[in-house]
Amino acid sequence: MLEDFHHINRAFENKVRLGIMAILMVNDSIDFNTLKEQLSLTDGNLASHARALEELKYISCKKTFVGRKTKTIYKATKKGREAFTEHILALERFLKSDFQD
């Protein structure tokens, strides 16, 4: 069904942002270094994609200090969880459609 494309969120077209959200959907929170390792990203690549999701209010970022080092923790927001779920459901509906509409 081509109308399902209207529910596909362009914010998740990038595989890095898709990966960030997928990991945050199954974890209450995750720190920067763990997320970077799980997605095999550089610091700058993760930071720029996380910032894009943060600007959309799909994730939140909390920075604390552990000793003299900063620790960055990411969480999916309610808005982000809803947007990601809608995106995945739209993809599933599209993939299950037989294009006869």
Q: Residue 57 in 3-state DSSP?
A: coil
pLDDT tens for 42-73 read 999 999 999 999 999 999 999 998 888 889 99
pLDDT tens for 11-20 read 998 999 999 9
Domains of the chain listed by start with CATH number: 2-96 (1.10.10.10)
Residue 28's pLDDT band (boundaries 50, 70, 90)?
A: very high
Distance of CA 36 to the CA centre of its chain: 13
State the pLDDT at residue 97.
Answer: 77
61, amino acid identity:
C
CA distances from 1 to 92, 93, 97, 99 (A): 11, 7, 6, 6
The reported pTM is: 0.87
Among 21, 38, 37, CA closest to 74:
21
